Structure 1
Amino acid sequence: MKALIMSDSHGLTEEVQLIKERHQGEVDAVFHCGDSELPLCEPTLEKIHIVMGNCDYDQKLPEEIIVDIKGVRFFVTHGHLHNVKSTLMNVKYRAEETNAQVVCFGHSHIAGVDYIDGILFLNPGSIHLPRVRREKTYAILEIEENKATVQFFEDSGKQVNELTHHFSLA
């Protein structure tokens, strides 16, 4: 299973489309963790699992998504409703309620990944307004035979090697 995860594009359409096209045929799913600031009917968002962020205005966007992709359960949220800038505890509780193996979220604009109590937490950063690091990032998660690899890429497609993480899943 391979998934492309992005977040916090804040009105960008061309960049979202280019990233999606760059990995077309390579990934099983594309997720956007909110703050696209685009309406759900925007053609760029076609075939993207997307949630509503605190800067989104289209009420048709869901606050969260729970979806199984090739046997892996994802919980996708923006994070503002779970206070992710302060703690992962609230989003962890929700992930446990939904039996999610992977949590994808944004909101903080800080790229990072962690594996806590059998749940993978992934924030792809922002492809528009990154924080902490200068690179505008998105992520690709690959899970094969109880091993997960998370690679981060700049919006241009260049891999950010120092952010790559490998995890053995329980």
Structure 2
Amino acid sequence: MTLTEIRRQAIAPALALLPARMSGAAGEVMLLAIGLQESRFAHRRQVGGPARGFWQFEQGGGVRGVLRHTATAGHARVLCEARKVAATESVVYAALEHDDVLAAGFARLLLWTDAAPLPALGESGGAWTLYARTWRPGKPHPETWEGLYSLALAEVDL
């Protein structure tokens, strides 16, 4: 999928199901950059691993975190209800592989669990720090981040 398709078919509908304060260009850039970093928007199932969805959530990691965090649990339940998915770890985990709107919503909610504000547009280093802190990638690839972040930034700056 192209970044424009991801924005229109996954991110925009997901943000429409979440509180308005979670919308905005900075969040969209983060969602695009993280999706590019995690899956290149080519793999809904992690190659050789357990993660699901374009944003590569693990059941006992990001899924559990979003469903249980005090800042996101209620929003996650509303999102799940809208997507007709039971708000349980196993059901959400399975659905993320096939429901890009749910996956984008969970990705935005995972960013919301972090107390720090989103980095300003163009702050690639701050964006990397937020991504690394919230996704806690097992095999981080900081060398690819700058280029992927730039692609995300260019898409949102259209």
Fold equivalence (TM over 0.5): no
Greater RCO (CA < 8 Å, at least 6 residues apart): 2
What's the TM-score once normalised by structure 1's chain length?
A: 0.25
The structure that is helix-richer by fraction is 2
TM-score (norm 2): 0.26
Structure with more strand by fraction:
1
